[in-house]
Amino acid sequence: MTDRFAHIAVCMDGSDASQAALREGARLASFADRVSVVHALAPPSFALSLAVGLGGAAPHDPEPERAAAKAWLESESSGIPNASPVLLEGQPAHTVSSWADDSGVDLLVTASHSGELERALLGSFSGYLAHHAPCPVLLVRPPAAAES
C-alpha cells in the first residue's frame, strides 16, 4: 500500500471558494506524484447560439477566452509542485468527470459552493462530481461557510 496519490486534480472556476480548493490541493501536493489544476470552459449558451442563428448577435469567437483561461490556469498552478494546468471544454461537471476517468485521477478537489440561481439552472458542479466522478471527491468549504 502506498501513502501517495498518483494524480490529484483541483477544479477551479475563478471564485474565492475555488481558491480555497486550490490551497487544499497545494497542501496535498506533497502526497501526490502529479497535480492538475483544471478548468472547464462551458460551451456558448443555447440562447447565444439561437441569437447568432437568427442574425441577432455576432458569432462568438472563443479563442480570446481560451487564451485568457490558459494563462490564468498557468498562473494558478505555478506555485504548486508537480502541477500542470488543464483546460477542458464542454459542460463542466460531465467534462471534468470524464477527463478524470480518462486521466487516472485518484482524487478530485473542488469547492462545495454554488449560487442559488446557478444551482437551479445548471445543477451543482460539486454535487455532480460527488455522485458521478470515477474517484473520491474532496469538497472544500469556502472560508465564510467554514466559519459559520
Tens digits of residue pLDDT in 53-65:
555 555 667 788 8
Tens digits of residue pLDDT in 66-82:
999 999 999 999 989 88
Collect contacts of 63-70 with beta carbons under 8 A, ≥24 apart.
Answer: 65/41, 66/41, 69/39, 69/41
Low-confidence ranges of the chain (pLDDT < 70): 1-2, 45-60, 113-123, 144-148
Q: Is the pTM of this model over 0.85?
A: no
Strands 137-140 and 107-111: parallel
Structural domain spans, the chain: 92-106+114-148
